[in-house]
Structure 1
Amino acid sequence: MKKILFVTMIALIVAVLAACGSDNEETGEASGAEQETITFGVTPWTSTVPPTKIAGLILKDMGYEVVETSADAGSVYTGLSRGDLDVFMDAWLPMHDNYINKYEDNLDLTAVSYPEADTGWTVPTYMEDVNSLEDLKGREDEFGNEFYGIESGAGASIESDEILKAYEFDMEQINSSEGGMLAQAQKMMADEEPVVFYGWRPHTMFNKFDLKVLTNEQGFFETSSVEVVTNTELKENAPEAYEFLSNWNISLDDVEEMIVKIEEGGDPEEVAQEWIDNNQDKVDEMLGK
């Protein structure tokens, strides 16, 4: 009788263990399950939108769910480092080196979107005798002792503060959103007043106004490489998505053209889909087909 009870107990234990193993498989808890949702960090810059929308549409076609999370640059990099975000399509290097260096153990420089993007302190071309940062020294009062920048904490704003200190300019950086900065600059340019603000390409400001980026002798605002950054877990958790993103590239002119269409009222996803439809060979190349 004891022998029968012992055998029965063993059989029950084996059955329970088998059921647990089966449950793990059915609920997707087995190791090696691939990540199904890709989360993009989206900064409040017009240059971020077209690449994010294009990449998102392609990833959706690949079977992934796509989520966009809006945040300032610092929060995007923090999110990437924590694994809360997977991808940022608009990293400006070396301008964002402070974030890259801070979180280097958790970030992957995955691809270069376009290698030569002009950026820096910008003035309208009617200011013919102002062509470099050095030309501003001693003339700060002509500009109301103000430089107009984008949001505080952005790499460009941090570097602009360094410029103010390095040149000992008697100026204050006025930070606001991209739209707020440009509205102020546009207002002053309408009356051909002296104004200096942060400018970059790709952006419609260079299509709408006659502008020039100021040179400098101290190496500020080097020509930027705009890159795709992912968190280090994506390569293992979603290898197909990572492989596509590692092949990513797009021209600065294409991004700028899409920004213009969006600012003129075009739906961002429709503009992105139009680019995909017109560049299927390039898309196939990025997908490794």
Structure 2
Amino acid sequence: MIITVLLLLIGLYGCGATDNDDGNNKEDRELVLGSTTWTSTIPPTEIVKEILEGMGYDIEIKEANIGAIYAGLATGEIDIYMDSWYPQQTQYLEEYSDTIEQLSPIYEDADAGMVVPNYMEGINDVEDLIGNEDMLNNEVIAIEDGDPAMDELQELIDAYDLDLELVNSSEGAMIAAAKTSIDENEPILLYGWRPHTMFNDMGLKILTNEEHPEYFNGSSVHPIVNEDVKKKAPDVHKFLGDLTISIDDMEDMIIKTDNGENSEDVAQEWLDNNPEWLNNN
């Protein structure tokens, strides 16, 4: 089935590449995908890699932090990034607006915000944290400081005048800290987002935010491309603008890769099971 899907893609999208490539311009057949270490980045990156290779492109994946990804997109060192969160990463979109392009969302309604274990029954809204900060060691465990969502998280802390310190770390370190606390049935406050396995694996919930709904009120996730992609690979540009993946499928793929399945195999399984996505573009 995977071969059939790739042949369909070549037939539907390959004409643009043929028109654009006289067979001598090898650089136009080479594309670089940027990738962060976030679990949400891996499935769409692997799916796109599989499809673009089937369309005849040579694909390289470069891993970097989010700031370096956008800088690379702006200079053309990176052609495509598949995990741009809007509006959280607006500052990068604005900074590099002259040389990068945001395409249609891959999926929408991606929730994010402050997260606690389900067993913290009295903490359901951010406002419930007021006066309970010492129970949490006055900390919010979060991801790396370079992510724009961390600025929004700090603004949320300030909006509620919470006596909390934002503790930045990697995604892996944050999850490890959460698991340690949850194994001991202890309170913990961290940053979380969906799609992610943390909610099923550890029994977590995102806190509501009734007093300041302007923060973390839902996100859409988009491909970002360097401006030259549309010219040198119009078939790729069109394909990326059409691609959609459900948030449930994203979470399922993240769970599989977290459980040790090969990420390329997971991507191929999604393609094998979802040839009908072409009809939704």
Q: TM-score, normalised on structure 2?
A: 0.87
Q: Aligned runs of 1:138-217 on 2, under 5 Å?
A: 138-216=131-209, 217=211
Distance between the aligned counterparts of 1:119 and 1:160, measured in 2? Answer: 10
The total of aligned residue pairs comes to 258
Tell me the CA shift for residue 34 of structure 1: 6.9
- For structure 1, the 5+ residue unaligned runs are 1-25
Tell me the CA shift for residue 199 of structure 1: 0.8
The structure with the largest alpha-carbon Rg is 1
Encode CA deviations 1:42-73: one digit per residue, 9 max, x unaligned.
Answer: 01100100000001100000000111111111
Corresponding residue of 1:249: 244
Distance between the aligned counterparts of 2:256 and 2:124, measured in 1? Answer: 31
Runs of at least 4 residues off by over 6 Å: none
Q: Are residues 1:269 and 2:264 paired?
A: yes
Which of 231, 234, 239 matches 1:239? 234
Q: CA RMSD in A?
A: 1.8
Distance between the aligned counterparts of 2:121 and 2:154, measured in 1? Answer: 25
Corresponding residue of 2:275: 280
Which of 87, 96, 119 matches 1:126? 119
Encode CA deviations 1:140-169: one digit per residue, 9 max, x unaligned.
Answer: 111001100011111222211222332222
Encode CA deviations 1:196-246: one digit per residue, 9 max, x unaligned.
Answer: 101111111111122111112222111111111111111011111111111
Distance between the aligned counterparts of 1:105 and 1:64, measured in 2? Answer: 26
Distance between the aligned counterparts of 1:204 and 1:137, measured in 2? Answer: 28
Determine if contact 1:111/1:229 at 8 Å carries over to the other structure: no
Q: TM-score, normalised on structure 1?
A: 0.85
Encode CA deviations 1:98-155: one digit per residue, 9 max, x unaligned.
Answer: 1111111222111211111111110111111111111112221110011000111112
Distance between the aligned counterparts of 1:34 and 1:185, measured in 2? Answer: 45
Distance between the aligned counterparts of 2:102 and 2:188, measured in 1? Answer: 36
Task: Tell me the secondary structure at the aligned position of residue 225 of structure 1.
Answer: strand
Determine if contact 1:150/1:156 at 8 Å carries over to the other structure: no
Identity of aligned residues (%): 43
Give the partner amino acid of 2:32. Answer: T
Encode CA deviations 1:64-92: one digit per residue, 9 max, x unaligned.
Answer: 01111111111111111111111111111
- For structure 2, the 5+ residue unaligned runs are 1-21
